[in-house]
Each structure stands twice: as C-alpha cells, then as structure tokens.
Chain A
Amino acid sequence: MASRIDQDQVQHVASLAKLSLNDDQLKYFTTQLDEIIGLFETLNEVDTDGIEPTSSVSDQINVMREDVADNWGQRDALLANAPESEKGYIRVPTIIDESEDE
C-alpha cells in the first residue's frame, strides 16, 4: 500500500504545530498518522457533490453584544500563572538567539 504521508511531511506538520520530534518519534508517528489518514480517506467513498459543509450546530447565529469590559483588573492574579514576570509584565527570553552572534 502506498504511503499517504511520509517522514518529511510529518516533520513539516510538526514544525507548523511547533512540536519537535526525534528520529524514533518521527518513525512512530509517521506509521500511526499514515494509518489514520488511511481511515480519513474512506470518506472518498461518500458522494458529497452539492452537499453544504457543516461547521456549527448551534441554534444561535451571529449573536451581538455590547463591547464592554467584564471581570477585569486582575493583573496580579493573571501574572501569578505566568512562568516568569517582572514589574507587572510577562518576561520571555531573548527573541534572537544570542549564541549565534558569537
């Protein structure tokens, strides 16, 4: 059976999803994803010509509301969940990899 997804494609998908896979995981996920995508392809048996896609089953459509702030002013409580913060801001590492400049 022809493979539906190869290791290069899985690597590409992982990078789009901001995940990193080592060689063993790449093999493992490629085999599994290939099998699952095979399941997806059984949908090709279904004639869907002219069938509208369904994206929501809610009975509410385009509900409008006033743009007002609610439950705000909790900066300290919010920052308590941040991995690192300083002076009321969330801290992140340097955006540019400094080791590459050396």
Chain B
Amino acid sequence: MNYFEKDLTSLHDDLVAKRISVTDLVQATFDNIAATDPDLNAFLALNKDAALKKAAEMDEKGIDADNILAGIPLAIKDNIVTKGLTTTAASKMLENFVPIYDATVVSTLNEKGIINVGKTNMDEFAMGGSTENSALKTTKNAWDYTRVPGGSSGGSAAAVASGEVIAAFGSDTGGSIRQPSSFNGIVGMKPTYGRISRWGLIAFASSLDEIGPMTRTVKDNAILLSAVAGHDDHDLTTSTKEVPDFAAELNDQTSVKGMKIGLPKEFLGEGVDSEVKDAILAAADKYRELGATVDEVSLPHNKYGVAAYYIIASSEASSNLQRFDGIRYGHRSDDVKNLEDVYVNSRTEGFGDEVKRRIMLGTFSLSAGFYDAYFKKAAQVRTLIINDFQAVLKDHDFIMGPVAPTPAFKIGEEISNPMTMYMNDILTIPVNLAGLPGMSIPAGFAKGMPVGMQLIGRPFDESTLYKAGYVFEQATDFHKQTPKQGGKN
C-alpha cells in the first residue's frame, strides 16, 4: 500500500475499527519502502525490528481511540538523534554513530504511540538545498527521478511525496523543510523559533534551526505540530507559551474572510520563474475570491538576507561543528602521529566540501579583524530584516509568496556552483533570520513539477497559517495530485 488516499484521521479510524492492525500497517509500509526506495533513496536506515516489535505490542494492548497518533508509522530526518538507531546527519563523520538518547521530539512522538520506521537522507549536517551534499546517498525527487528532491530535508520530503510514509519530520535552518516540501508538492511547516524543542537535533546554526512536520495535508501537519510543540527543560530557547490544538480550528467554518494578506513585491522579482510567479498570482486571486484582501507590500532588506544568513549560519556552524574532533565519538583518522593529527585528519576526512566551505566562511567571519565587518554587520542587517517583517505584519494577518524561485532542478545541474545554490534560498532565509513561522503548501505546477506557496506569519501564530493553508487546500486540488513514479505498491 501507499499513503496517497490516506490521512492521519482515516488511518486512525482504520486502526480503531481494526480494519488493519498496527503490525500489518507497519509491514505494508516496509514493503512499500522496499519496492520504492531502491530508486528513490529517501532512507538512510530502517528501524524494522524495533518498529515491528512496538507494533505487535500495540496490537496486543489495543489502540487508544482518543489518541490519533497511536500506531502511525512515520520517518525522521537523520540529524535528529534516535536512541539505538544510527544517526549520521548524512556525514562520514557520523557514519557509525549510535545515539544513547532520543531527541525530545522523538521521545514525545514515541510516547504518543507513533512508530519510527527509519531515518531519512539529507544534505550533510543540513547544509544544502538539494540533498546532493549527502555523503551517503543521492535522493531523487518523487515526481521526476532525474531531479533533486530539494534540501536539506530531501529524504523526508521524497518519502512523504512518494507515499512511503504518511508524514516525516525535518529541520529548517534556511528553508530546509519548506523548499523540499515545495519541490515535492507536500505541506511543510517551519514553526516559530522556540516552538519546538531542538534537544537532540544535531546543531547547525542554533539561532536559526527549527524542527517541523512534513505531511500530505495541512490538517495532518497541524496535528503533528500540536503533538511535539511546547517548552522543554532541555532546550531553554523553547517558549513557555501555551500550544493550541491547531487542527481543532480546521473545519467547515474555517475561513479567510476579512483577512489581510501581504504579497511582497520582492518575492516576485528578478530570478523568479514565470510559471512560479503565475501560480502565486493565481493563488492570490483565489484568496481574494475566498474573501481575503491581498495587497502588495515591500520587504526592502529581503535581498540582503542571503548574505546575512551565510555569515551568521556559517559562523554558528563553525562553532557548533568544533565538537567533531575525532576524540569522543565520530570518525577518527587512522593516519595519525599525534593529537593534532587526530583533530585535523579526522575533520579533513570526515567532512564533505560544503561543510568545509561553511566552516571556513564562519571561521573567517569571526576571525580577528573581520568580526565587525562581517558578523556584526550581518547581525545588524538581521535586525533590519526583522523590522521589515514587523512593519508588514502589523497590519497584515500573514505574508504570501513563493517558497523557491524555481521548481526542482536536475540532479548535478547546480551543485558545482555554491553561489547559485545559496541564491535559491533567497525567499526562505529571511523567515529563519526573523524566527517567524513559515509554511509551504502545494499551489500549482511549473514545467510539470510542483510549486509551493509560502505563508509567513507573526511569531507563534502558526494557527493563522494553518487556517489559511487549509482553506486554500479545500478550494484547490493541487495536493491531490500524486507523482506517477512514487508508491510502487
């Protein structure tokens, strides 16, 4: 089976009514992965024995009719640590790393009865936008196996879009949930900074990293965010704000009537594919038809987002990745004569080119004599980017635009030019810099490939994004299209 015709609610009903057992559902998921994944390459590791054992226990115990997540199989990006299950961040550095604890999102999901079927491929340490920077595998786009799935959460996006799983978790530092969701025609939420605990997320850029759900429908996404959001004593950047039951607000009465939507002119400017632009303009018309107003707004500092981001994110990465020294865990070089060699040779052998590039950019930006010119300047520009968003969101309920300037590009097409790759993030990066919630939802097709629309909201107002996304989804059928190549059985 694949998950194309299913959502969390219908799966839950099937499990409660015993139309399918948890064991059969989990086994069917692994059968589908076995048929699909040799071509798709979404998974780095499968959790087969533990998943089937947990499924059997749940069948024995019976499904709790009040717990929609009980017995639901899903996948986890491989930079989120899972106790006893290899977690590599798609790096040779961690190829054999077996965590001794679960990330908070994983332990929360486990307690709620989900079944982790495996770990998904990604750009090494989440650095990249095509999953081509994985040191371990090349994941394909679920819609076209010659194209990239996006990144860095490319494995999670491809696994959901191909019907291998109903949902997956990813992480987003500069667009890594939203862009692959856009490229694969699924729903991906990067929540507000502080909404979800990052305890157990292998740190890339700590002032930007967020974890979030990737699903086929807006409602499923809302269910999963409510399940994992909230304060965690292990991540003191998490907010103590109450977490709404986001999905409870999505029903026949949900409406965008009277909502004010801002469409930044900078989001439809130079470099944005004309078919992508058309899809977003059509979506704006759809929102008008549904009773919202859409007017043009401006985010004047948006164009500086990429430069500011690559200084800030690389600086934080250069610091976070110092921990990989070949001593306590991870790769240790065999070619060593002294302790210095352990550090240098282990890191040189263990990291791929993109990771080295970012570590060096960060080290440079923070080094004596350059700090003020680069890091401090970028942190000041970050303030201006935040101010731009605040000015627009003061009198707009949310902002809409494309997720990425283009649909998915060909494998191998852009990987040799880091600058081209970096500029692809121009529409997603500012949202991380400002810590705002941003969601990608299917909004059309360009050159036969899915186009995602990005909805950006006020801090901790994921609720408005889910409502607006849900209303759009109900009024369109883009999310019902499925890739021909995915879901082999």
Contact = CB atoms under 8 A, between A and B. Distances in A.
B361 interface: yes
B338 A93 contact: yes
Contacts of A74: 100
A90 B378 CA distance: 40
The secondary-structure label for the interface of chain B is helix
Nearest to A44: B377
B343 A18 contact: yes
Contacts, number: 171
A9 B174 CA distance: 28
Contacts of B364: 5, 9, 13, 33, 37
Interface residues of B, number: 69
A43 B338 contact: no
Contacts of B308: 43
A56 B206 CA distance: 9
Given A19-B344, A29-B356, A93-B338, A60 B383 contact: no
A45 B384 CA distance: 13
Given A29-B357, A37-B364, A81 B97 contact: yes
B381 interface: yes
Contact of B422 (A5, A36, A78, A95): A36
B341 A93 contact: yes
Interface in A51-66: 51-60, 63, 65
A29 B351 CA distance: 14
A81 B98 contact: yes
Contacts of B329: 81-83
Nearest to B318: A17
A77 interface: yes
Nearest to B366: A16
A97 B422 contact: no
Contact of B383 (A35, A54, A63): A54
B304 interface: yes
Contact of A16 (B194, B341, B363, B374): B363
B193 to A, nearest CB: 5
B347 A18 contact: yes
A3 interface: no
Contact of A83 (B241, B332, B459): B332
B237 A99 contact: no
Nearest to B333: A83
A59 B239 contact: yes
B326 to A, nearest CB: 7
Contact of B435 (A18, A57, A99): A57
A46 B332 contact: no
27 contacts: A19-B356, A19-B359, A20-B345, A29-B356, A29-B357, A32-B418, A36-B310, A37-B364, A39-B307, A39-B310, A40-B307, A40-B310, A40-B311, A40-B365, A48-B381, A48-B384, A51-B383, A54-B382, A59-B241, A59-B459, A60-B239, A71-B101, A81-B330, A83-B332, A84-B332, A92-B339, A94-B339
The 4 closest A-B pairs by CB, nearest first: A57-B435, A53-B379, A83-B332, A81-B329
